[in-house]
Chains A and B, each alone.
Chain A
Amino acid sequence: MRILVVDDSKAMRMIVARSLRQAEIGAFEMAEAPDGEAALALIVGGGAFDLVIADWNMPKMTGIELLTAVRNAGLEVDFGFVSSETTQEFQKRAKDAGARFFVTKPFTPEALRDAVLGGRA
């Protein structure tokens, strides 16, 4: 599985990677981007990602703007959020835009695993 982790915090990208390893989701390759704009370039540039895990609040382009841009580009890459936003409103907006999961920070490796693997064939 190829996963793109998008977060403006380098430490948080590291934590997501560590959590994915601890959660034993199976073999995966991980790429990183510090904001939505950089992530979009990787995705439309042929990154062939199976999953994008994005923060919501980021400079240049937010996570929801990234998801919208990806869908507008006709790409159906699997997408989830890992965010400090805690309200239902944000979770609904994410789902309406086509995200498969929304995990609130801080999270456990198990919660991330359940989100990443949940609903996958």
Chain B
Amino acid sequence: MSKSRLPAPDGLALTLRSLFGRAVTVKVLPVLVAPVASSLTASYELDDGTVGGACILDVQLAASLGAALALMPPAVAAEAVRRGALDAALMENVHEVLNICTGLFEGGDAPHVRLGAVGTGAVPAAVQAMLKVPRNTVTIEVTVQGYPPGKFAAAVG
């Protein structure tokens, strides 16, 4: 069975640009950014329920994506970064952004995936295992115009 596709930086930029209607720039970083307690981890599940891919957002990017989706002021994102956590509205919004990012793991002969668990704190074991294989990971610095930049890491199994 084919595996999930590793999200392409340009594809991520295009998806976010289309979604927010504002400029988005991306830069691939040479080193995987390790998740910390405030990082948001999203698992993408194959149809058999196993984890086919994952992405990890630092709190800066999670806050910016959540705010940008609903046209919230950048100060809302900055306040979440200061607190080190997203409030319920930002969390709901970033959940939807992550849902829309599902397509980044598909395409070609890659299998269908759907957004699974999203949360902070301990990184699921299946995701930890993916992060240990550098060729199956990518880390991207993302800047959404008007909002604080942040980091997006993705991994596939």
**64-121 of chain A: CB within 8 A of chain B:** 84-87, 89, 104-108
Contacts of B107 in A (CB 8 A): 86
Contacts of B95 in A (CB 8 A): 9
Question: Is A10 in contact with chain B by the CB < 8 A criterion?
Answer: yes
Cβ-closest chain A residue relative to B111: A87
User: Are A86 and B18 within 8 A (Cβ)?
Assistant: no
- Chain A contact residues, majority secondary structure: loop
- Which of B30-38, B97-105, B140-148 lies at the interface with chain A? B97-105
Contacts of A85 in B (CB 8 A): 102
How many chain B residues touch A (Cβ–Cβ < 8 Å)?
A: 18
Contacts of A11 in B (CB 8 A): 69-70, 92-93, 96
- Chain B contact residues, majority secondary structure: helix
Contacts of A108 in B (CB 8 A): 18
Instruction: Tell me the smallest distance from the CB of A101 to a CB of chain B, in Å.
Output: 18
User: Are B93 and A106 within 8 A (Cβ)?
Assistant: no
Query: Given A11-B69, A84-B103, A89-B112, does the pair A105, B92 have CB atoms closer than 8 Å?
Result: no
Contacts of B102 in A (CB 8 A): 84-86
In the A-B complex, list the 5 residue pairs whose CB atoms are closest, starting with the nearest. Answer: A106-B19, A106-B18, A9-B96, A86-B103, A11-B70
Question: Is A48 in contact with chain B by the CB < 8 A criterion?
Answer: no
Instruction: Tell me the smallest distance from the CB of B29 to a CB of chain A, in Å.
Output: 24
**22-81 of chain B: CB within 8 A of chain A:** 69-70
Q: Which of A's residues lie within 8 Å of B, judged by CB? A: 9-12, 14-15, 57, 84-87, 89, 104-108
Query: Given A106-B19, A107-B18, A108-B18, does the pair A86, B92 have CB atoms closer than 8 Å?
Result: no
User: Are B103 and A9 within 8 A (Cβ)?
Assistant: no
Once bound together, how far apart are the Cα atoms of A12 and B115, in whole Å? Answer: 16
User: Are A105 and B93 within 8 A (Cβ)?
Assistant: no
Once bound together, how far apart are the Cα atoms of A11 and B103, in whole Å? Answer: 19
Query: Given A105-B100, A106-B100, A108-B18, does the pair A86, B93 have CB atoms closer than 8 Å?
Result: no
Once bound together, how far apart are the Cα atoms of A22 and B143, in whole Å? Answer: 25
Which residue of A57, A87, A104 contacts B99 across the interface (Cβ within 8 Å)?
A57
User: Are B70 and A105 within 8 A (Cβ)?
Assistant: no
Once bound together, how far apart are the Cα atoms of A85 and B103, in whole Å? Answer: 7
Contacts of B120 in A (CB 8 A): none
User: Are B18 and A84 within 8 A (Cβ)?
Assistant: no
Which residue of B69, B103, B115 contacts A104 across the interface (Cβ within 8 Å)?
B103
Once bound together, how far apart are the Cα atoms of A9 and B115, in whole Å? Answer: 14
Instruction: Tell me the smallest distance from the CB of A48 to a CB of chain B, in Å.
Output: 29
Once bound together, how far apart are the Cα atoms of A10 and B72, in whole Å? Answer: 13
Instruction: Tell me the smallest distance from the CB of A110 to a CB of chain B, in Å.
Output: 11
